[in-house]
Structure 1
Amino acid sequence: MNLRLRSNAIMAVAEQLVVGITFFVLYGVLIRSVGAEQVGILSLVLVLTSVGQLANIGFGSALLRAIPMHEGRGERHLSIASIETSALCSALFYGGLLLIAYYPFQYLITIQAGPQYAPTIAAMMVPATINVFAMGLGAVSTAGLSSIMRNDLRAVANIVGGILCLAIVFLATPRYGVVAGFWALAAQSIFVLLATWLFLYRQLPGLHLIPRRLNRTVMRDLVKVGYKLQLQSLLVMALEPLSRLLIGHFGTLSQVTYFSMAARYVMQMRGIVYSASQPILSAFSYLRESDPARQQQLYATFSTVIGLAAIAMLSATAAAAPFVGELWIGKREPLFEGFAILQSLGWLAVTVILGSYFNAYSLGFLRYNLGSHVVMAVANLVLGVALGWAFGPWGVVVALTISLVLAGLIMGIGNARFQPHGSRFLSLSNMATLALGCAAVGTAVAGYHFVRGYWPMLASGLASGVIWAAVMLPAFAFHSERGLILNLLRLRIKRRG
């Protein structure tokens, strides 16, 4: 198996960018067409998508570790059995979940939004259900492509699906309003599911076009690892919906909209770093079976560079929040800006430690990963209620940020014991870079607001970017590990033997 690390990372980033642009345009069109209140309803109904994605007991996540291991051992038949078993189990599980949850969820959201929005919520539920089911099955096929290092094919499916989604939004929103947004998302999910499964079918001879093999032994092995991973996913994915519901309780629908937009913005930008690093998990699992020495070398390089990339990306995300908010919403919105900056800080804490996270994941040692997620979820709930009651929506977002920082600390410290070369991120150079990243955010945001009083939006955004670069670039240029960044750009790993 050719690992194609560089090309897979590039395509993963391209995919993330297109998905982010799709959502950016989707929300931008809808908020200008129907207003923040209507988009707030869409944001609440989207909670069903978050809940639905938890229903596969971690099959998609388990495939990212299982298939590279089977391929490294030459067990292609087990790779195929793992994919078909995951697809069948996911279909059964999603179908049952949606049948049970459909009307209770509709009732809950109607209470949250108000009875005056009941017809709109009812109209959204059908496409929302289709979207959840297609996304659930698509998680298996996309994970299958990622596990055999064909992120390029997965990216093609998602890019075309994003274009299809935008086409439907532009054509249907003037006539059907906010409901058109959900039908666009459903069409995108169906297309991605069909395209990625066909790609997988062509890449793995022996895979059935319609899954028919449910291997109980394989299912037990996948569930053994998958339920832990899925519990982690459940706890992570519950963060935003819980915060969204708390903001809806302590605030207004407009505040829910701005929080959802800020959360999506930060997650898309963080997703660029995360997506680029995802091929590393399959590489760790494959090389651990076929070339352990090379796996250790790869880890030493990756763990340092991913920390620096996280600081650069998320500090830039926070610094650009005023410009992005004004461009996206059409006006300067302090809520979006503040929510985005706080969430950038929180997600930075759980992104800088991705090297140790993926290493422990590939080993099957999930104690600290899972424990940190439990602490994160409990802290978000308890602090969210307490701070939300005291300070409103701002308190809810501060609680989310604190919970993310706690999770990052627990994972970073706990997983250090599994690192083959120890932690190289906790160095003086990296701490200085982190401090400069925070300083760059403060100066860039202040610079944008100052310049905006005299210059137009685009010029102010450019000036803010220059200020951020002036603070951050010297930190990377004189960093003690700067050579590793250049090495990563040239890194190619191919199968031996």
Structure 2
Amino acid sequence: MQNRLFINAISTIGQVIISGLTYFFLYGIWIRELGAKQLGVWSIVWTTTYFAAMANSGVPVGIVKFIAEAHIQADMAKARSIITMSIGITALLNFLICIVLYFNASWIFHFLISSSESAVALQIFPYALAAFWLLNISNVFMFTLDGFQANYLRSILNITASFTLLISSYLFLHKGLWGIAIAHIIYTLYILLGSIALLIYYLKTPFILNLQADKRLFSDFVKYSLKSQVGSITTLLYDPITKFFLAKYGSLDAVGFYEMANRLVTQIRSIIVTANQVMVPKIVETSLNATSHFQRLYAMMFKILAIISTPLLFFFFFFAPLISLVWIGKVEPFFVLSIYTLIVGWYINTLSVPAYISNMGIGQLRQNIIQHIATASFNLAFGVIGGYFLAGYGVVSAWSLSLIISSGILIYLFHQKNHLSLSILRFEGDRNFFISLLILIVAACFSNYFLAESSTTWVLVFVCYSLIYAGWLVWIFKNTPLLLEMRLRFANFLFK
């Protein structure tokens, strides 16, 4: 079991890294060949399709939990029934919302985008809807693999799919936004066919569906999925609200630069979070078998997340101007400040992930729903105020502040319900760990500001920054015993 968790975590991390590098090259090509405004138009179009997933947004959570239970109970008939129900719910409800979106696209794009750009958005929107519909059906098979604890198969598919997107985007680049839309159709078709093939391979049978109705199972599955529906719907509103406010209070260029910054930060965060998500089936198993207390597992997940996410996320805080120079071709202030703001918000949100995952595993979703509603509500309220007074900068700051407040609410509620003290989250050397981080953040803000205002040799800056950052890493390794323990356990696992 431990080996399977380790393989799933490592493969997931590898997938996110490779996918992240792929998107790094993709966005670099798109921003240079198409421009920030065109990238902003595509971002608005693709983000609008998110509403198509609102009807079945609780289904993925239900798939992982119920498939994990069926796997533990060795009940493959139940697993096939869950797959069949999930495909039906997803395909039908997504299709109905796609129809509604298609007939309302005109006023949405005219409201958010200038008339000259909205015409192109309307033309490619049906292709974006088709791609998103296929992707949601594919996710049924992908989340099924997660429930079977075969995340490594999903990771392999995502890695090859990211290369498919990169190659097809390059081949159709001459078609502009049409090329991006076509590339996404090819990408989603590849994922759909690949996920079906991998599930057949894992089950060792082409019979992955069960058409016999099980009313009780259907009722239990729908009830559980509906519990997370509200929270999942609000999650789907996060990105649209921010991008729509940016388009309204800022500009399409701002949307394009935000899209790049957000993709970078969330992709890096995914390296950490997706590795932790492989723990959901383990928590389900722990809950069912009562072999140990999940709260101990929660505390360990939090400490590991805090220690790993800190140097990884804030690396990009430190090097933001250099990333802008390489990726965009110049130091773009809005892009750099978006990275700063998003990293702080997503970092705090990452620290709430252990509580979120623990709630998912034991089926107590109320606190997760409260966090989602709080995030969307704060983002909506703060976004209007921030956008009105500070334009695009205010919108991005509002989103980050919403993440911070809602994450704090979730951690507080989780500890209160489970009668946990915040002290269980502390680890030896944590005070110096976070003080050194704060010093690094302040130094980076001042130095990056003055460097951006002057003509400088960026190669020399990169070397100096790298030496400083490497020195900080060595220091925290020596002064954080848990890091040394993690390194020893990893070495023992590899060489035992």
TM norm. shorter chain > 0.5: yes
CA offset digits 1:144-190 (Å, max 9, x no partner): 1111111111111111111111111111112x112211211221112
Is 1:266 matched with 2:273? no
CA distance, structure 1, for counterparts of residue 489 and residue 138 of structure 2: 30
Q: Is the CA contact (8 Å cut-off) linking 2:227 and 2:366 kept in structure 1?
A: no
Comparing 206-215 with 56-65, which one deviates more in the overlay? Answer: 206-215
Residue 463 of structure 1: aligned partner: 464
CA contact (8 A) 1:36 1:254 kept: yes
Q: Which moved more, 1:385-394 or 1:108-117?
A: 108-117
Structure 1 residues 296 and 332 mapped into 2: Cα distance closer, same or farther (>3 Å)? same
Q: CA deviation at 1:384?
A: 0.8
1:14-29 equivalences in 2 (<5 Å): 14-29=14-29
Partner of 2:221: 222
Identify if the C-alpha distance between structure 1 residues 185 and 246 changes in structure 2 by more than 3 Å, giving closer, same or farther.
same
Look up the equivalent residue of 2:465 and give its one-letter code: S
Q: Given the superposition, is the C-alpha separation of residues 80 and 432 from structure 1 closer, same or farther in structure 2, using an over 3 Å criterion?
A: farther
What is the alpha-carbon distance in structure 1 between the residues aligned to residue 46 and residue 325 of structure 2?
24
Match of 2:110 in 1: 110
The correspondence of residues 221-240 of structure 1 with structure 2, limited to 5 A, is 221-240=220-239
The 5-angstrom pairing of residues 314-393 of structure 1 reads: 314-393=313-392
**Contact preservation (8 Å) 2:83, 2:209:** no
Q: Does 1:276 align with 2:267?
A: no
Q: Evaluate the alpha carbon distance shift between residue 260 and residue 488 of structure 1 in structure 2; reply closer, same or farther with a 3 A threshold.
A: farther
Q: What RMSD, in angstroms, separates the aligned Cα atoms of the two structures?
A: 2.5
Relative to structure 1, the CA distance from residue 244 to residue 459 in structure 2 (aligned partners, 3 Å threshold; closer, same or farther) is: same
Asked if 2 retains the 8 angstrom alpha-carbon contact of 1:311 and 1:352, the reply is no
Q: Which residue of 2 aligns with 1:132?
A: 132
Query: Between Structure 1 and Structure 2, how many residues are aligned?
Result: 491
Superposition pairs for residues 466-477 of structure 1, below 5 Å? 466-477=467-478
State, as a whole percentage, how many aligned pairs show the same letter.
22
Q: Deviation of residue 4 (structure 1)?
A: 0.7
Deviation by residue 1:416-468 (Cα, 9 ceiling, x = unmatched): 24669865324574354234323323324544566675764454334323323
Structure 1 segments (4+ residues) deviating >6 Å: none
CA distance in structure 2 between the partners assigned to 1:488 and 1:59 by the alignment: 36
- 1:495 is aligned to none
Question: Taking structure 1 as reference, are residues 297 and 431 closer, same or farther at Cα in structure 2, changes over 3 Å only?
Answer: same
- Give the distance between the partners of 1:40 and 1:46, measured in 2 at CA: 10
SS at match of 1:46: helix
1:204 equivalent to 2:203? Answer yes
1:71–1:286 contact (8 Å) kept in structure 2 = no
The Cα shift of 1:101 comes to 1.2
User: How many angstroms does 1:369 deviate by?
Assistant: 1.7
Q: Structure 1's 415 and 421: CA in aligned 2 closer, same or farther, altered over 3 A?
A: closer
What amino acid sits opposite 2:355 in the alignment?
S
**2: distance between equivalents of 1:41 and 1:336?**
17
Cα gap change, 1:419 to 1:282, in 2 (>3 Å): farther
C-alpha spacing 1:106/1:164, structure 2 compared with 1 (3 Å): farther
Structure 1 residues 76 and 262 mapped into 2: Cα distance closer, same or farther (>3 Å)?
A: same
The letter of the residue matching 2:188 is: S
Instruction: Report if the CA contact (8 A) 1:343-1:401 is conserved.
Output: yes
1:2, 1:149 within 8 Å by CA — same for their partners in 2? no
What SS is found at the alignment partner of 1:40? helix
272-281 or 218-227: which moved more?
218-227
Please tell me whether the aligned partners of residues 87 and 211 of structure 1 are also in contact (alpha carbons under 8 angstroms): no
Confirm or deny: 8 A CA contact 2:80 2:210 kept in the other structure: no
Once residues 213 and 256 of structure 2 are traced to their aligned partners in structure 1, the CA distance between those partners, rounded to angstroms, is 42
Range that drifts further, 73-82 or 91-100: 73-82
Question: Which residue does the alignment assign to 1:312?
Answer: 311
Q: Distance in 2 between matches of 1:42 and 1:16?
A: 22
Residue number in structure 2 paired with 1:489: 490
Distance in 1 of aligned mates of 2:223 and 2:459? 52
Displacement of 1:120 in angstroms is 1.3
| Counterpart-to-counterpart distance in 1, 2:195 and 2:467 | 40
SS in 2 for 1:281: helix
Q: In structure 1, what residue type is equivalent to 2:466?
A: G
Q: Output the CA distance in 2 between the equivalents of 1:402 and 1:136.
A: 30
Matched, 1:45 2:45: yes
The one-letter amino acid paired with 2:235 is V
CA offset digits 1:252-291 (Å, max 9, x no partner): 1111111111111111011111111110111111233246
Bigger Cα displacement from structure 2, 456-465 vs 224-233 = 456-465
Rounded to whole Å, the distance in 1 between the matches of 2:492 and 2:416 is: 26
Question: Residue 463 of structure 1 aligns to which amino acid in structure 2?
Answer: C
Residue 91 of structure 1 is matched in structure 2 by: 91
- The residue number in structure 1 matching 2:439 is 439
Report the Cα distance in structure 2 between the residues aligned to 1:94 and 1:82, rounded to whole angstroms. Answer: 18
Structure 1 pair 98–240 and aligned structure 2 pair: CA distance change class (3 A): same
Aligned partner letter, 1:53: A
My pick for the range that moved more, 347-356 or 70-79, is 70-79
**Corresponding position of 1:413:** 412
CA distance in 2 between counterparts of 1:389 and 1:63 reads 41
- Opposite residue 331 of structure 1, the aligned amino acid is K
C-alpha distance in structure 2 between counterparts of 1:281 and 1:104, whole Å: 38
Query: Residues 53 and 282 from structure 1, CA distance in 2 versus in 1: closer, same or farther, beyond 3 angstroms?
Result: same
Q: Which residue of 2 aligns with 1:253?
A: 252
Q: Quick one: distance in 1 between partners of 2:384 and 2:11?
A: 40
The one-letter amino acid paired with 1:21 is L
The one-letter amino acid of 1:201's match is I
Rate the CA distance shift 1:265–1:211 in 2: closer, same or farther, 3 A: farther
CA distance in 1: counterparts of 2:294 and 2:16, whole angstroms: 26
Question: Shift in Å at residue 16 of structure 1?
Answer: 1.0
Does the C-alpha gap of structure 1 residues 484 and 2 become closer, same or farther in structure 2, counting only changes over 3 Å?
closer
2:100 aligned partner: 100
Question: Unpaired runs of 5+ in structure 1?
Answer: 493-497
